[in-house]
Amino acid sequence: MIRIVIAEDSSTARQLLVAILSSDLELCVVGEAKNGIEAVELTKQLKPDLVTMDIQMPLLDGLEATRRIMIESPTPIVIVSSLDAREVSATMHALNAGALAVLSRPRGPLDPHFEGKARQFLVTLKAMAQLKIVRRWPKPVGPVETLVSSTPMRLVAIAASTGGPAALRHLLAELPPTFAPPILVVQHIADGFAQGLADWLNTIGSLRVKVAQHGERLRPHTVYLAPDDQHLAVWDGAVRLDDDPPIAGFRPSGTHLFHAVAAEYGVGGVGIILSGMGQDGVHGLAELRDRGGTVIAQDAASSEIFGMPGAAVAAGVVDHVLALNGIAPYLIARARSS
């Protein structure tokens, strides 16, 4: 039985969440919090397997409640949010503070897609509840110059899922304004949050971050995020978006992106696989490496979830396994040597 605390100030929304969770015999709602203070206290008292966290709450908001829980009683937290602009921004900060994922707040049974969305909601919560929360402290990074190839680096492609937003924030913050190669990113995140993620990432570092648009030319010093429910690729130096079927359940897919980079850039492409659940990206990275490109995986010690990078390592398609705070120094050194 998976024990869950629901933190939600709206009684209507809270009742809906209780009804959805109670429909699954593997889940049990053990506590309901109407504000952030109650969420922190109930988490300490009840020691649940998971907390669903609203963002806009009285007395203590969901962001601060997440921060306190992760310090006082680390527990898997899933943000359940609307697409209100204030909530999207706070949700990104909550992910950086240790929340595992963000899910769109379910609509009521009158929504024609309610049953399917409710099922997916439950599947995600059960997956998140199985994860062990470990405090991760950055370790000193050794010299990376010995790993760096002199082959010109023309483009960087990144795929990430659970734990990815915080990892992306750290990585991009470490890249200087002189870092020229375009960066394309597939980040698995709830529909409606891609623009919020781009806005949030734009508040740090010196590179421009934007949601990719079909047909736009790739420019230096720019990071392109895959939009909601569209595959991201590159062709003839421009962004290519398409609605091809999901790959292993994902659209956008890291594998789709890496396949395109392998075909377009070959030895000039660098593929990076960051924290995330599952195996998305592995097949695309294999092709990129076969074409002479370089593949980097975030290491287990710095990954929130070592699923995606671990799958790439196990498949033998990775050139370098680096701590999160070692990836930017590698890219900087590689760009300098190109």
Q: Is the peptide bond before 252 cis (omega within 30 degrees of 0)?
A: yes
Q: Give the three-state DSSP class for 94.
A: helix
In DSSP terms, 185 is beta-bridged to: 158, 225
- Give the other-Cβ count within 10 Å of 249's Cβ: 9
Q: How far is CA 318 from the centre of its chain?
A: 20
With 0-12 / 13-18 / 19 or more C-beta atoms within 10 angstroms meaning exposed / middle / buried, residue 292 is middle
Tokens of 188: 């698995």
Host H or E run for residue 66: helix 62-72
Catalytic (active-site) positions: 161, 188, 280
Domains plus CATH for the chain?
A: 2-129 (3.40.50.2300), 145-337 (3.40.50.180)
CB 79 within 8 A of CB 94: yes
The DSSP letter of residue 110 is T
CA–CA gap between residue 86 and residue 288 (Å, rounded): 39
Written as six digits, the tokens of 74 are: 């680390």
User: How much is the pLDDT for 138?
Assistant: 63
Question: Would you say the pTM of this structure is higher than 0.85?
Answer: yes
- Nearest in space to 47 (alpha carbons), one of 64, 30, 71: 30
Res 217: pLDDT: 98
Would strands 231-235 and 238-242 be described as parallel, antiparallel, or unpaired?
Answer: antiparallel
Q: What is the pLDDT along the chain (338 residues), one digit of tens a residue?
A: 999 999 999 999 999 999 999 999 999 999 999 999 999 999 999 999 999 999 999 999 999 999 999 999 999 999 998 767 667 888 999 999 999 999 988 888 888 888 988 998 999 999 999 887 765 556 666 677 678 887 899 999 999 999 999 999 999 999 999 999 999 999 999 988 999 999 999 998 899 999 999 999 999 999 999 999 999 999 999 999 999 999 999 999 999 999 999 999 999 999 999 999 999 999 999 999 999 999 999 999 999 899 999 999 999 999 999 999 999 999 999 998 87
Neighbouring C-alpha atoms within 13 Å toward the C-beta of 92: 25
Distance, in Å, from the CA atom of 291 to the CA atom of 79, rounded to the nearest integer, reads: 40
pLDDT at 88: 84
pLDDT for 134: 60
Specify the amino acid at residue 148: V
